Amino acid sequence: RFHGEGYQEGYAEGSHVGVVEGRRYGSLHGAKIGSEIGSYLGFALTWQCLLQNCTDEKNSKKIRALDSLIGMIQKFPYEDPTYDKLQEDLEKIRGKFKQVCSVLNIQSDFRIGTERPSLTF
């Protein structure tokens, strides 16, 4: 009997701690992803505004790349944590961001963490 009660209490406590830890982990990593995606969107919108009056062929390629990045970010499923292609889509956005930086001839370095908490261009 004591063994069974101890098991039930331990299981209930472990479940509670697991939920709390999972929520904290999800909030932390969700905030990191949100910060990263938000930085990409701010970067793309800023460059889109800077290039909107330039109509030559060289800049039209840059604008198309920026529009593609903005479109990918706008379609990203922020509200659905169960989206099965979340990591895949995030990697595509990161790749498109690198492509845009290459087209704009800008070196990018995005890091989130304690060692250097900034986005530099």
Residue 81 falls inside a structural domain: yes
Reported for 64-70, long-range contacts at CB under 8 A and 24+ positions apart, including other chains, are 65/96, 65/99, 65/100, 65/103, 66/100, 68/96, 69/40, 69/44, 69/93, 69/96, 69/97, 69/100, 70/41, 70/44, 70/45
Q: Are 75 and 96 within 8 A, CB to CB?
A: no
Residue 69 falls inside a structural domain: yes
Residue range 34-41: mean pLDDT, rounded: 92
Residue 83 falls inside a structural domain: yes
User: What pairs with residue 109 in β-bridges?
Assistant: 120
Number of domains in the chain: 1
Residue 28 falls inside a structural domain: no
Secondary structure letter of residue 110 according to DSSP: E
| pLDDT tens readout for residues 44-87 | 999 999 888 877 777 888 999 999 999 999 998 877 778 888 88
Residue 49 falls inside a structural domain: yes
> The domain containing residue 43 runs over which residues?
36-104
Residue 86 falls inside a structural domain: yes
> Could you tell me the pTM of the whole model?
0.73
Residue 65 falls inside a structural domain: yes
What is the structure's pLDDT at 56? 78
